């Protein structure tokens, strides 16, 4: 036994010596200086920055654990709501008439109303998706820090080691470094991971590729991407699941296939991907292409429908089970009426109409509170439901009771949060010129047309939709007093959809507008005799507004410029220059009796020198100073005012 142990020890010792000899023959032994020796010795240990990154990774992992607990509770809440919703739908499907249901079923249906649950589910699901996105960003932060730690510790004892040797005769120390191999240089087998990553990025961020790619090309790209990854990449599992879904579901839409790739995208790539996806989903033709199957089986329909001279087929809206924006619509109120009637302690048919109305309104108090404007629209709907169910004409007193109830609920809603329609920002001319210059820097036609459309609104007060729909054949060149005007006839406007009156938009072509608007308009028209003046945008107001907001922020404007900013700015500048409301209402083509002029003035003029508060303050200041001079109205005296009785007493004393 001892001999066997001795033999085994000798074999192990020989194997160790052989391994060391092979390592020395493979390694490069380079003599270095003493300073380089100590420098490399420092890099072999983890630096303070690496230690800090390790602590940050631990903190992020703790946050992820807390985040996962919250997400799990959210998922449980969603599952519970879905189960209750399905049970309520089953109750309604089994017995549509609430009178024939049991009391427990009516109470359950009243508590878990499907439309209200669906509204809450939409918010919770959106919250869940945000949490998933946050978790993905946490993973990206951890991976970035781990990559940084790897870069800081490149010179490890495995790849590069430093040591010193002492000469036994002279006692002089020599310093050496052995380099076994590199861990930082990319030496991938086959295609490089970096090259495949660039190809993947170009694939998912190109708008044209998104709506035209085929499934075979995507499978080939994902296969190459996976082969280029080393086993430690967790993204390999994601690629495998995506490939399995593509093979199992050959009719998967292009949009769904692209969305399944989002876990593989870094934040900057995801931003470019979302921009391209938004462009494809907002355009009618592109939207149809991107929701086609990625195997190309339906592409011939899109190509056939997009031929010149053939009208595009109207896209059907996505079918969803619920489309309730509020419970104050007719269909929902009928359901609430049935439940209230079934849960009442008296018969609706035998009771007085006033009692029935009061009981029904009391039941509606249990419903979630809505925005204030919803109750204004709900007055007529509630009255119609009650009249149709009671089969009686409501009296003026009963209608007033319903209206009062809606007003009280609207006031409660207004007390909870500030509610008012937001108005577009007013843009001064220097800011408008700054936006024009930023949009005109690019050679792309759409931003340039957005700049021209905005300045048409800024110069004439037109709506953005009207400016984008101007047609060359509707133009008249008018010369008055030696000046040229372009007058466009508006085919249909917001306030005149039935074309009962002639509406025009006039652009002075020889006035100096701060920008070469007339020159750009002439360049757009050229020798064409028909068609849209701004043909690239094709009348899409939202796209033009997006360009204005994006390039306005890029130009450094603090205001959020929108499509309506030009019209609002025209009105405010006109009022500041002394034009009356009546003149501007005629130019802006508002309907008679419109409240928009008053609304504009409340938003923008009351905080200026033309507003009523400043005018009244000036008038009072003039009276205090005893002068009618407007310039002296701003200098308010600080001395106490002498009353008429005090003046008479002083005159008597002097006499």
Q: What is the pLDDT of residues 190-248, one digit of tens each?
A: 456 777 888 888 888 888 888 888 888 888 888 888 888 877 777 777 888 788 778 77
Counting every residue written for the chain, the total comes to 655
Enter the tokens of residue 37.
């020796």
Counting residues of the chain whose pLDDT is more than 90, the rounded percentage is 14
User: Cα separation of 416 and 244, whole Å?
Assistant: 50
Question: With 90 as the cut, is the pLDDT of residue 22 above it?
Answer: no
pLDDT at residue 417 greater than cutoff 70: yes
Confidence at residue 7, expressed as pLDDT on a 0 to 100 scale:
64
The residue-averaged pLDDT of 557-568 equals 90
What is the Cα–Cα distance from 593 to 581, expressed in whole angstroms? Answer: 12
**DSSP one-letter string for 70-125:** HHHHHHHHHHHHHHHHHHHHHHHHH---GGGS-HHHHHHHHHT-HHHHHHHHHHHH
User: Which tops the pLDDT comparison, 631 or 407?
Assistant: 407
Q: What is the pLDDT of residue 6?
A: 62
| Mean pLDDT, residues 100-122 | 83
Average pLDDT over residues 486-507: 86
pLDDT attached to residue 41: 60
- Averaged pLDDT for residues 76-86: 88
* pLDDT the model gives residue 533: 92
Determine the pLDDT at residue 452. 93
User: Tens of pLDDT along 245-255?
Assistant: 787 777 788 88
191 or 465, greater pLDDT:
465
Give phi and psi for 46, each to the nearest 5: -70, 135
Q: Which residue has the higher pLDDT, 3 or 21?
A: 3
Structure pTM?
Answer: 0.46
Q: What is the pLDDT of residue 316?
A: 40
pLDDT band at 654 (very low <50, low <70, confident <90, very high): low
Say if residues 110 and 339 touch (Cβ distance below 8 Å).
Answer: yes
Query: Do 262 and 192 touch, CB atoms closer than 8 A?
Result: no
How far apart CA 458 and CA 565 sit, in angstroms, is: 8
In sequence order, which residues have a C-beta less than 8 Å from that of residue 590 and are 6 or more positions away?
495, 596, 597
CA distance 56 to 148: 12
pLDDT reported for residue 242: 82
Between helix 372-390 and helix 330-343 the angle, nearest 10°, is 60
Q: For residue 16, what pLDDT is reported?
A: 63
Query: 329 is written with which tokens?
Result: 């619509």
| Residue 331: both structure tokens together | 């269909």
pLDDT greater at residue 626 or residue 633 = 626
d(CA 414, CA 373): 10
> What pLDDT, on the 0 to 100 scale, is given for residue 397?
92
pLDDT of residue 402: 93
Q: Nearest 5°: CA angle at 194, between 193 and 196?
A: 65
Q: For the segment 518-562, what is each residue's pLDDT rounded down to a tens digit?
A: 889 989 988 888 999 999 998 899 899 999 999 999 899 988 898
Query: What confidence tier does 632 reach under pLDDT thresholds 50, 70, 90?
Result: very low
pLDDT(163) > 60: yes
What is the Cα–Cα distance from 517 to 438, expressed in whole angstroms? 15
> Which residue shows structure tokens 């009249």?
387
- C-alpha span between 434 and 598 (Å, rounded): 30
Q: Pick from 35-44, 332-341, 377-386 the range whose average pLDDT is largest.
A: 377-386
User: Is the per-residue pLDDT at 15 higher than 70?
Assistant: no
**CATH architecture of structural domain 429-605:** Orthogonal Bundle (1.10)
Report domain extents, the chain. 48-152, 193-305, 330-416, 429-605, 622-654
Q: Distance (Å, rounded) from C-alpha 36 to C-alpha 414? A: 73
- 636 has pLDDT over 60: no
Confidence of residue 473 (pLDDT cuts 50, 70, 90): very high
- Label residue 457 by pLDDT band (50, 70, 90): very high
Collapse the DSSP code of 628 into the 3-class scheme (helix H, G, I; strand E, B; otherwise coil) and give the result: coil
pLDDT (tens digit per residue) in 316-336: 433 333 233 467 788 888 888
Has residue 145 got a pLDDT over 90? no
Distance CA 375, CA 406 (A): 5
Q: At what angle do helices 193-205 and 267-282 cross, to 10 degrees?
A: 30
pLDDT tens digits, 260-302: 888 888 878 888 888 888 888 888 888 888 888 887 777 755 5
The region, left, alpha or beta by phi > 0 then psi within -120 to 50, assigned to residue 580 is beta
Residue 434's pLDDT is: 92
Radius of gyration of the chain (CA): 38
């Amino acid at each position: 036994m001892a001999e066997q142990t001795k033999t085994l020890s000798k074999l192990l010792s020989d194997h160790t010596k052989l391994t060391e000899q092979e390592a020395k023959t493979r390694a490069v032994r380079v003599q270095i200086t003493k300073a380089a020796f100590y420098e490399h010795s420092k890099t072999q240990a983890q630096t303070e920055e690496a230690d800090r990154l390790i602590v940050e990774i631990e903190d992020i992992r703790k946050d992820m654990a807390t985040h996962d607990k919250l997400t799990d509770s959210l998922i449980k809440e969603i599952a519970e709501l879905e189960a209750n919703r399905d049970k309520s739908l089953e109750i309604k499907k089994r017995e549509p008439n609430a009178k024939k249901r049991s009391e427990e079923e009516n109470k359950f249906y009243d508590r878990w109303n499907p439309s209200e649950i669906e509204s809450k589910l939409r918010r919770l699901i959106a919250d869940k998706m945000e949490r998933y996105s946050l978790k993905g960003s946490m993973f990206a932060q951890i991976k970035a820090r781990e990559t940084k730690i790897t870069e800081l510790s490149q010179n490890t004892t495995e790849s590069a080691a430093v040591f010193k040797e002492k000469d036994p005769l002279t006692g002089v120390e020599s310093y050496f470094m052995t380099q076994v191999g590199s861990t930082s240089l990319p030496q991938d087998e086959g295609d490089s991971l970096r090259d495949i990553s660039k190809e993947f990025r170009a694939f998912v961020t190109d708008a044209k590729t998104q709506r035209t790619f085929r499934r075979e090309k995507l499978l080939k790209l994902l296969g190459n991407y996976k082969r280029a990854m080393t086993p430690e990449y967790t993204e390999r599992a994601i690629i495998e699941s995506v490939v399995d879904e593509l093979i199992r579901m050959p009719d998967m839409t292009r949009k769904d296939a692209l969305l399944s790739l989002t876990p593989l995208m870094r934040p900057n790539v995801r931003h470019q991907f979302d921009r391209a996806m938004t462009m494809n989903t907002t355009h009618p033709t592109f939207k149809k292409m991107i929701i086609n199957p990625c195997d190309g089986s339906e592409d011939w329909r899109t190509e056939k429908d997009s031929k010149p001279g053939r009208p595009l087929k109207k896209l059907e809206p996505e079918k969803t089970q619920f489309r309730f924006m509020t419970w104050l619509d007719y269909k929902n109120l009928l359901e609430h009426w049935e439940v209230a009637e079934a849960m009442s302690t008296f018969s609706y048919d035998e009771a007085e109409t006033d009692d029935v109305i009061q009981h029904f309104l009391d039941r509606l108090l249990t419903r979630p509170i809505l925005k204030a404007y919803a109750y204004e629209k709900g007055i007529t709907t509630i009255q119609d439901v009650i009249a149709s169910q009671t089969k009686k004409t409501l009296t003026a007193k009963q209608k007033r009771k319903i209206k009062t109830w809606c007003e009280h609920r609207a006031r409660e809603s207004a007390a909870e949060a500030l509610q008012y329609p937001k108005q577009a920002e007013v843009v001064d001319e220097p800011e408008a010129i700054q936006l024009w210059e930023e949009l005109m820097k690019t050679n792309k036609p759409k931003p340039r047309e957005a700049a021209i459309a905005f300045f048409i609104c800024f110069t004439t007060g037109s709506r953005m939709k009207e400016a984008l729909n101007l047609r060359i054949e509707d133009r008249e060149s008018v010369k008055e007093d030696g000046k040229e005007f372009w007058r466009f006839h508006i085919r249909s406007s917001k306030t005149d959809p039935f074309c009962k009156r002639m509406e025009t938009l006039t652009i002075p072509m020889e006035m100096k507008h701060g920008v070469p608007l007339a020159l750009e308009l002439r360049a757009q028209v050229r020798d064409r005799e028909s068609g849209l003046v701004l043909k690239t945008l094709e009348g899409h107001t939202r796209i033009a507004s997006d360009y204005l907001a994006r390039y306005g922020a890029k130009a450094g404007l603090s205001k959020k410029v929108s499509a309506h900013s030009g019209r609002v700015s025209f009105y405010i500048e006109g009022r500041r220059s002394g034009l009356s409301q009546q003149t501007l209402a005629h130019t802006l083509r508002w309907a008679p009796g419109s409240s928009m002029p008053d609304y504009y003035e409340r938003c923008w003029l009351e905080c200026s020198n033309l507003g009523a508060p400043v005018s009244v303050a000036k008038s009072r200041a003039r009276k205090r100073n005893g002068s009618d001079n407007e310039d002296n109205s701003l200098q308010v005296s600080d001395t106490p005012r002498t009353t008429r009785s005090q003046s008479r007493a002083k005159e008597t004393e002097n006499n």
